Chains A and B, each alone.
Chain A
Amino acid sequence: MDKQKEIEQQMQHDQAEAGSLQSYQQLFDLLEQPPTYSLSENFATGIIKQVDAREKKTYRWFWFWMVSGIVLILTVTLFTCIYLFGVEQIMVYADLTTWAVVAGSLVVAIQYLDYFLIRRHSTFSM
């Protein structure tokens, strides 16, 4: 900002008399003085704590919906299969090895999603 030029423009705007020049010069100087304020010592720490708390909350909600979704899908699938094929037919395919593979895959999928959706996009690692 060119202060002198700005004062001239202001005086033209006001159609002010020449005597106003000093007042405006004084006013412009005063306007550059900051308001008084004080900040607590833990100002930045407080912000980081809030950021952390929000991320944790988001993380918890993600897991809540994730687990809820998986449980819902599995339940619907299971009941649909029972309804369509009957329990005996399902048990033919559901030996111990099959269940272990399904459960293992589920754990790996959850871990992968945890990394991919939460940790990788999280600004602060948990």
Chain B
Amino acid sequence: MDDKELVQNILNGDRRALTQLIGKYQRLVMHMVCRLIDNEEDREEIAQDVFVKVFQKLRDFNFESKLSTWIATIAYRHSVNHLKKVKKQFLTEELDLLTNYPVAEERFVLDQKDQAAYIRYWIQKLPVNYRMVLTLYHLEGLAYSEIMEIMDMPEGTVKNYLFRARQKLKELMAPVMGKEVFLYG
């Protein structure tokens, strides 16, 4: 079933179609929510709220963009609003703060599996916009035009975030490859 048919069925009252839409896009929503929301307990609730919003606004969706882009926009805005509400720092763009991170509690040996954990750890320490751009571009494979639409930013800014985030992660990764490292949990 394509997205148009899926949406039409949902609007006609088909609950199975709604369940199908949730199944189809929960990965995208959860990836975005996980990258933006640090508190694990809040994540599922926020993801559910995103889908409730998607349902409520579905009648206004006119397929001018892809359904995935539209859902991602809702997920992004809802997560950012949540962060604003809980008054966490979320728009700081000070990547340089990361280099002075304190000594860790948790120990990692960087085999392949731990490298992924190590990178995930540092991604979570990046400012929100950097995290989001990395996630949408690398994990979801979205085009710049889609990321621009989701984050409501010009292409130059999106690219700048992406290049700077990758550069920073590479710097953070470089001195510890193949070594034991300690991370602040």
Contacts and interface: CB of A to CB of B under 8 A. Distances in A.
B153 interface: no
Contacts of B163: 9-10, 13-14
A33 interface: yes
A31 B138 contact: yes
Nearest to B162: A10
A10 B174 CA distance: 16
Interface residues of B, number: 42
Contacts of B22: 43-44, 47
Given A26-B115, A26-B173, A54-B56, A46 B48 contact: yes
B181 interface: no
Nearest to A19: B174
Nearest to B134: A31
Contacts of B183: none
Interface stretch (B27-35, B64-72, B79-87): B27-35
Interface in A37-71: 37, 39-40, 43-44, 46-48, 50-51, 54
| Dominant secondary structure at the A interface | helix
Interface in B165-184: 166-167, 169-170, 173-174, 177
Interface residues of A, number: 33
Nearest to B19: A44
Contacts, number: 99
The winner among A20, A31, A37, A48 for most chain B CB atoms within 10 A is A31
A33 B120 contact: yes
Interface string A2-35: 0000000110011000001001101110111111
A51 B19 CA distance: 12
Interface string B7-38: 00011110100110011001100110011000
A54 B53 CA distance: 11
B119 interface: yes
B139 interface: yes
Contacts of A93: none
Interface of B: 10-13, 15, 18-19, 22-23, 26-27, 30-31, 34-35, 40, 43-44, 47-48, 51-52, 55-56, 58, 115-116, 119-120, 134, 137-139, 141, 163, 166-167, 169-170, 173-174, 177
19 contacts: A20-B170, A23-B173, A24-B170, A26-B173, A27-B166, A30-B115, A32-B138, A33-B119, A34-B27, A37-B34, A39-B26, A44-B22, A44-B26, A46-B48, A47-B52, A47-B55, A123-B11, A123-B58, A125-B13
